[in-house]
């Protein structure tokens, strides 16, 4: 099988998975129930969800600008934001890894340093992922769905302790990987841990570890700055998006629940099995919000409001693409 045929087969498979997941979740909700929920929605919160999506992308562009500068690549903030929007546009019909390749190609043309751009993008995504996992685990420990489902059963210490242990493991591992003294042995251990996984996953994991190792000499102040930006982006702006989407769909749950749901959806969205994370996000929110007594139709509408933010960003990307084409 040629490489092109394999790519087409993967794209068809992801489209099929997307259709199956969406069909399944809509069958659970029911058309009439969802229609009634849509009619009662508070659509003015939609604007807030769009603006939160733009702000999230803008802060990510700012973090990437600092990272690229560390790699001797000077790129304007406006260019980085425009590239993020264009990537969102392509992500609406291309799998995640292919749409991300568009971003890498644009920045490579701007800087002439493809390897530096790739390592910067991977470092930024890895840092954001670690922040989201840590924040999500902390929120899960405080807003347990089992407690919401059965409050009369009392609060168990098992889940909070497990979350704390996982937070410590993730943070310590990331620190060891980024330290110039412990980075080498830590990366070798992580490579060994990848061996039971499929070859394709091993290859991508090793490549990511190799690229991230370029930042082992960056210094702790640099890592702290990028981490703080991602904390603000993931915790404050990401939560803002979920709050607007929840308000639009009349979803009422603890704020901590929205924080850990944001982390879960973000992490699952990195698994390239659907187009634009469609299906995965809907199934996740309908299933997990049900633990808090949220109606399936309301959870589905909340997911659709969040997806509309990606569409809005993609429309901005289409406008940038047309502008660049006309300029050339």
The pLDDT tens digits of the residues spanning 176-203 come to 988 888 888 888 888 888 788 777 667 7
Say if CB 137 and CB 264 are below 8 A apart: no
How far is residue 18's CA from residue 273's CA, in Å, rounded to a whole number? 8
E strand map for the chain: none
**pLDDT tens profile 260-315:** 999 899 888 887 778 778 888 999 999 999 988 899 999 999 999 999 999 999 99
* Domain count of the fold of the chain: 1
Q: How much is the pTM?
A: 0.87
Q: What angle do CA 66, 72, 74 make, to 5 degrees?
A: 60
Q: What angle do CA 88, 295, 49 make, to 5 degrees?
A: 30
pLDDT of residue 92: 83
pLDDT of residue 184: 85
Q: Mean pLDDT, to the nearest integer, of 215-222?
A: 87
Structural domain harbouring 15: 3-327
| 85-99, 167-181, 276-290: least confident range | 85-99
Q: 162-176: buried (b, 16+ CB within 10 Å) or exposed (e) per residue?
A: ebeebbeebeeebeb
pLDDT grade for 48, boundaries at 50, 70 and 90: very high
The answer, yes or no, to whether residue 62 has pLDDT greater than 90, is yes
**pLDDT tens profile 2-18:** 667 777 777 788 888 88
How far is residue 89's CA from residue 198's CA, in Å, rounded to a whole number? 30
């Amino acid at each position: 099988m040629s490489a092109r045929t394999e790519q087409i087969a993967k794209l068809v498979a992801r489209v099929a998975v997307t259709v199956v997941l969406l069909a399944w979740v809509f069958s659970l909700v029911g058309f009439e129930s969802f229609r009634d929920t849509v009619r009662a929605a508070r659509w003015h919160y939609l604007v807030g969800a769009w603006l939160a999506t733009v702000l999230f992308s803008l802060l990510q562009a700012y973090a990437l600008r600092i990272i690229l500068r560390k790699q001797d690549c000077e790129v304007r903030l406006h260019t980085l934001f425009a590239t993020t929007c264009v990537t969102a546009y392509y992500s609406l019909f291309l799998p995640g890894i292919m749409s991300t390749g568009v971003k890498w190609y644009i920045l490579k043309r701007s800087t002439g340093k493809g390897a530096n751009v790739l390592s910067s993008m991977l470092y930024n995504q890895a840092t954001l992922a670690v922040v989201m996992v840590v924040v999500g685990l902390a929120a899960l420990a405080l807003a347990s769905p089992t407690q919401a489902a059965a409050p009369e059963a009392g609060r168990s210490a098992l889940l909070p302790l497990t979350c704390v242990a996982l937070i410590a493991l993730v943070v310590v591992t990331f620190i060891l990987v980024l330290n110039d003294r412990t980075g080498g042995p830590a990366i070798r251990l992580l490579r060994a841990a990848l061996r039971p996984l499929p070859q394709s996953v091993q290859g991508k994991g090793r490549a990511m570890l190799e690229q991230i190792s370029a930042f082992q000499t960056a210094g702790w102040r640099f890592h702290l700055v990028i981490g703080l930006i991602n904390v603000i982006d993931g915790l404050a702006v990401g939560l803002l998006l979920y709050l607007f989407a929840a308000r639009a769909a009349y979803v009422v749950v603890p704020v901590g629940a929205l924080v850990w749901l944001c982390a879960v959806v973000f992490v699952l969205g990195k698994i390239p099995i659907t187009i634009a994370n469609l299906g995965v996000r809907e199934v996740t929110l309908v299933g997990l919000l049900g633990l808090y007594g949220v109606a399936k139709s309301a959870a589905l509408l909340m997911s659709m409001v969040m997806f509309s933010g990606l569409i809005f960003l993609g429309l901005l990307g289409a406008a940038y693409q047309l502008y660049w084409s006309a300029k050339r």
